[in-house]
Structure formats: C-alpha cells, structure tokens
Structure 1
Amino acid sequence: MSIEALNKRIEVWGNVEFENELEEKDFRSGKVKDKPIWASIIPQTGSLQKQQANTMLSNVTHKIKVRYSAGKDITQDMWLIHQGRRFDIKYILDPYFAHQFLEIFCEEIIGG
C-alpha cells in the first residue's frame, strides 16, 4: 500500500482522565490525539437486523489502515471518528510485524 492511499482524516477518541469537582480522577469521552491522522477506510462486511418497532439496524465492519508511526499508541478501548461516524475498534494488526502500517478492524453500527 502506498502513502497516497491514505486519503481520509480520522480522529482518535477514547476515555481521557480529568479531575472532577470533588478533585477526584474521573474519565470522560474525548480526543486522544490533538490532530487527525491520515487513513484508508476499506468496507469489509455488513448485515441487517430488524429491531423492535420496525426499525433496521446495520452492522458494518471496516478495515482502517494507518501509518505505524501515527497509530502505534492506539488501543482496542478507543474508537475512531470520520465525518461524524463512529468506528469501534475490534482488533489491531501489524501485518508481518513490519512496523509500516497498522490494520485496525472496526465495527460501525448504523440506525436504531
């Protein structure tokens, strides 16, 4: 894969620590990285589920590729945001342990 294929900007989110009004350490959702990183988003699979009240729920999996140096501190408890869409991380691979790219396998839930 070439660097030119990394044509999407994604934000890395997670639970960030802060001090609450009782001066205790607490966590809230927030950006983990200050700047977005370049990525390639590749759809993998999808499925539809019928929910109560005739609503449809769609589960779509994606493979998101980033440069190793930009994503080496991303963990499974984080999530990625692209154009307002949330991608929950399922697992992360370093193909052939080459430390060039990371493949982040994610799930996006649409509808509900």
Structure 2
Amino acid sequence: MAVQAGDLRERAAVYRAAPVTDENNETDYAYQPLRTIWANVTPTSGRTENLPGEAERAEITHKVTIREASLPEICRGMYFVVRGLRLDVLYWYPIYNRRGWLEIFCRMVQGEVQADGA
C-alpha cells in the first residue's frame, strides 16, 4: 500500500554533521539541527545481542518515508529524532513508481554505551 500525504503523521527533526572551528582553529564536526519535516515512520526489523557484563543491546531498523522535496539533500551524516528516539540514516532510495517520494532506512540502537558514557 502506498503512503499518501495524509500518512505523514510524525514530526521528524533532522540533524546533520556540520564543520565547526574550535579555539585552536581546527575543524571538527558536530551535529546541528537542519529542519523539521513530516514523515511516516515504520519499524521494519530488529535484533538483540548480548554484551559483556550481562548487558543487552537492541538494534531496530526503521523505514522513514518522506516527500523528496522536504529533504532535497540527504547523506549518511544525518539522523532523525522522532518522539525522542534517534534514528541514524543507513541508506535511502526513491520510490520508483511514485515520483517525489523517498524511503530512508535508519537504525536505532538501544542499550549502547556512548563515547561520553551516556
């Protein structure tokens, strides 16, 4: 079943890695908000794995369907925040039989320890 414009019910904040210059005049990359768009977000698959110390990590793949015009430039250095959950962009492709629409596949990881310890 094809997604219609009325099915875009989730507000998705889009973040993109952008270059920033620090006090030592060196260039680094930091995620900055780009825009907020309407999307249809659907979980597609998931898996779990055991980590050392009796910890468990879950990885869930989501399909994010959007109008192509709402995000004309997309890259793997982006992520979406939908209902407080971060969805990292993995890959995307146009819906060939419906001009102007994109399917973006994203990964959400639960239980993963971040580099800053969060």
Residue 3 of structure 1 is matched in structure 2 by 5
Q: CA deviation at 1:5?
A: 0.5
Residues in 1 aligned to 2:18 and 2:40: alpha-carbon distance in whole angstroms? 25
Structure 2 spans left out of the alignment, 5+ residues: 113-118
Equivalenced residue count is 110
Residue 84 of structure 1 is matched in structure 2 by 84
Q: Deviations over 1:49-98 (max 9, x none)?
A: 11111111001001000111002212122111112211111101111175
Residue 116 of structure 2 is matched in structure 1 by none
Residue 72 of structure 1 is matched in structure 2 by 72
Residue 53 of structure 2: SS of its match in structure 1? helix
Q: Which has the higher helix share?
A: 1
- Residue 63 of structure 1 aligns with an amino acid whose one-letter code is K
TM-score by length of 2: 0.83
Mapping for residues 86-105 of structure 1, pairs under 5 Å: 86-96=86-96, 98-105=98-105
Structure 1 spans left out of the alignment, 5+ residues: none
Residues in 1 aligned to 2:73 and 2:37: alpha-carbon distance in whole angstroms? 12
- Residue 8 of structure 2 aligns with an amino acid whose one-letter code is L
Residues in 2 aligned to 1:39 and 1:97: alpha-carbon distance in whole angstroms? 19
TM-score by length of 1: 0.87
CA change 1:48–1:24 in 2 (3 A) is: closer
Provide the identity percentage.
25
Report which stretch shifted further, 102-111 or 91-100. Answer: 91-100
